[in-house]
Amino acid sequence: MTGPLLEVDGLVVDFSRRRRRLRPGEEPPRKAVDGVSLSLRHNETLAIVGESGSGKTTVARSVVGLQKFGAGSIRFHGTELRTVSRRPAALKREIQMVFQDPRSSLNPRMTVRAIINEVWRTHPAIAPRDRATALAELLDDVGLDPSVADRRPAALSGGQCQRVSIARALALKPTLLVCDEAVSALDVSVQAQILRLLVDLKEEHGLSLLFISHDLGVVRQIADRVAVMRRGEIVEFDDAEQIFVHPAHEYTRQLLDAALDLAGADD
Ligand SMILES: Nc1ncnc2c1ncn2[C@@H]1O[C@H](COP(=O)(O)OP(=O)(O)OP(=O)(O)O)[C@@H](O)[C@H]1O
State the complex-level ipTM: 0.95
Pocket test for ligand 1, best of 15, 33, 34 (most atoms within 8 A of CB): 15
Q: State in Å: Cα 55 to ligand 1 middle.
A: 6
**Distance between CA atoms of residues 236 and 217, nearest Å:** 17
Query: Is the CB of 54 inside a 6 Å radius of any atom of ligand 1?
Result: yes
Evaluated on CA atoms 51, 53, 54, 55, the torsion sign reads: positive
**Distance between CA atoms of residues 220 and 242, nearest Å:** 11
> What CATH number does the domain located at 6-16+28-103+175-266 have?
3.40.50.300
Coil, helix or strand for 246?
Answer: coil
- pTM attached to this predicted model: 0.91
Query: Is the CB of 214 inside a 6 Å radius of any atom of ligand 1?
Result: yes
Query: Is the CB of 4 inside a 6 Å radius of any atom of ligand 1?
Result: no
| β 225-230/233-239 pair status | antiparallel
Return per-residue pLDDT of the chain as tens, 267 residues.
Answer: 578 999 999 999 998 866 667 778 777 778 999 999 999 999 999 999 999 999 999 999 999 998 999 899 999 998 888 776 777 778 888 999 999 888 888 999 999 999 999 999 998 889 999 999 999 999 999 999 999 999 999 999 999 999 999 999 999 999 999 999 988 888 888 999 999 999 999 999 999 999 999 999 899 999 999 999 999 999 999 999 999 999 999 999 999 988 877 666 655
